[in-house]
């Protein structure tokens, strides 16, 4: 990403960045300076729109929020995306060069054939010995050029294959790094990155964003009774049901232990509760059974907390409200869905 310009412009952007941070009491760290320099330079339109929304809503720039902004636009995920895009561009460039070399090689081969025919004709003409020698020399040089071009084409072909394999390897590593090895769905790292991106989209484009926090009821007791192997299978069952119960841009992930999450972009609180209830019913209607022995391990139920993202809030606050709603669901007997709106009514009753 090119954030450079003329010396005067760079100085102006830097001064504006320092003033913006000072006005909002933002620590002048390298990461924060990068964010605000990019904002004033206008080189990252998505960042500029997100910051303008936060500023217009008078949102406080806490340490956590500053870090989220930097990670979103300049962190590891952005670097990984740039590596994949660069790899794709290099591969495309090499492929194009190969095509050009192939065409050039064919042209040179045809040129050599024509010269060979011309040499044969000249050799039949009296007193053409010197001319024939000259043409034979040209043919010799041409053959060398063709051979070198073919060798270069082969080397570039190998390079193109290596780049393709490298790109595939990068994608595999990325998937593995973002996938929970036990359940096969997204892991906590991928959840964090996706939630940041979804929140940024809401701040830039509007719309709703909801989060489901899901906990398997009595999972420890289930584990202690039937063993960890069966417990692992229960986790896989829940992961499959979550995957089946969502669509489009919805993202199910394992949050940790027996807890799962589902990110629901462009979904309001009512619809999010509907999705949560469908997931709950789908699991509650299924019994975990050993396919070989037909032994039943009973029904797996879950409790689900639902929360909606508030514009400009730290993402930890969203997760915390979903967790509070989940805690409320467990307190009401488990195997149920509770939205964050219920928390407000409980607070009012307590007061």
Q: What's residue 29's pLDDT?
A: 85
Phi-psi region of 266 (alpha: psi -120 to 50; beta: other; left: phi over 0): left
Q: What's residue 193's pLDDT?
A: 87
Q: What's residue 90's pLDDT?
A: 54
Contact 226, 318 (CB under 8 A): no
Residue 64 CA to residue 84 CA, distance in Å, equals 28
DSSP 217: T
> Mean pLDDT for each consecutive 10-residue tract of the chain (351 residues)?
54 85 89 87 80 85 86 61 54 57 59 59 55 64 71 66 65 75 90 90 88 95 87 93 92 94 96 96 85 81 96 90 95 94 52 36
Q: What's residue 47's pLDDT?
A: 83
The token pair that represents 175 in the structure block: 């998937």
The token pair that represents 53 in the structure block: 């929304």
Q: Which residues of 197-229 are buried (b: 16+ CB within 10 A; e: fewer)?
A: ebbbbbbbeeebbbbbbbbbbebeebbeebeee
Catalytic residue among 258, 259, 277, 351: 258
Class of the CATH domain delimited by 188-350? alpha beta
Q: Phi first, then psi: give them for residue 181, nearest 5 degrees.
A: -65, -30
176 is catalytic: no
Quick one: which of 132, 108, 109 has its CA closest to 121?
Answer: 132
Residue 216 CA to residue 214 CA, distance in Å, equals 7
Contact 269, 325 (CB under 8 A): no
Question: Is the Cα dihedral 195, 196, 202, 205 positive or negative?
Answer: negative
Residue 253 CA to residue 243 CA, distance in Å, equals 9
* Domain ranges within the chain, ordered by starting residue: 7-74, 78-177, 188-350
Q: What's residue 181's pLDDT?
A: 87
Q: What's residue 66's pLDDT?
A: 87
């Amino acid at each position: 990403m090119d954030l450079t310009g003329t010396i005067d412009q760079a100085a102006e952007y830097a001064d504006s960045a320092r003033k913006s941070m000072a006005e909002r009491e933002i620590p002048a760290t390298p990461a924060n300076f990068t964010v605000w320099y990019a904002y004033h330079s206008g080189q990252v339109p998505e960042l500029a729109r997100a910051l303008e929304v936060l500023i217009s809503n008078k949102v406080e720039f806490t340490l956590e929020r500053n870090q989220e902004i930097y990670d979103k636009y300049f962190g590891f995920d952005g670097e990984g995306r740039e590596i994949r895009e660069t790899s794709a561009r290099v591969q495309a460039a090499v492929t194009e060069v190969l095509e050009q070399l192939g065409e050039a090689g064919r042209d040179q081969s045809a040129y050599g054939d024509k010269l060979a025919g011309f040499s044969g004709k000249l050799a039949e003409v009296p007193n053409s010995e010197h001319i024939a020698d000259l043409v034979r020399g040209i043919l010799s040089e041409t053959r060398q050029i063709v051979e070198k071009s073919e060798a270069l084409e082969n080397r570039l072909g190998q390079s193109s294959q290596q780049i393709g394999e490298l790109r595939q390897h990068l994608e595999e590593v990325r998937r593995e790094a973002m996938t929970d090895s036990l359940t096969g769905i997204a892991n906590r790292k991928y959840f964090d990155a996706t939630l940041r991106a979804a929140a940024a989209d809401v701040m830039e484009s509007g719309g709703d964003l909801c989060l489901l926090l899901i906990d398997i009821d009595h999972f420890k007791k289930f584990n202690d009774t039937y063993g960890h192997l069966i417990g692992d299978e229960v986790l896989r069952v829940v992961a499959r049901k979550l995957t089946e119960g969502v669509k489009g841009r919805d993202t199910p992930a394992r949050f940790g232990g027996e807890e799962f999450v589902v990110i629901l972009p462009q979904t309001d609180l009512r619809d999010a509760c509907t999705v949560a209830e469908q997931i709950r019913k789908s699991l509650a209607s299924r019994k975990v059974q050993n396919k070989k022995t037909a032994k039943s391990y009973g029904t797996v139920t879950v409790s689900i907390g639902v929360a909606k993202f508030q514009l400009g809030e730290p993402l930890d606050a969203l997760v915390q409200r979903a967790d509070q709603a989940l805690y409320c669901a467990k307190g009401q007997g488990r195997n149920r869905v509770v939205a964050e709106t219920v928390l407000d009514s409980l607070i009012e009753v307590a007061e």
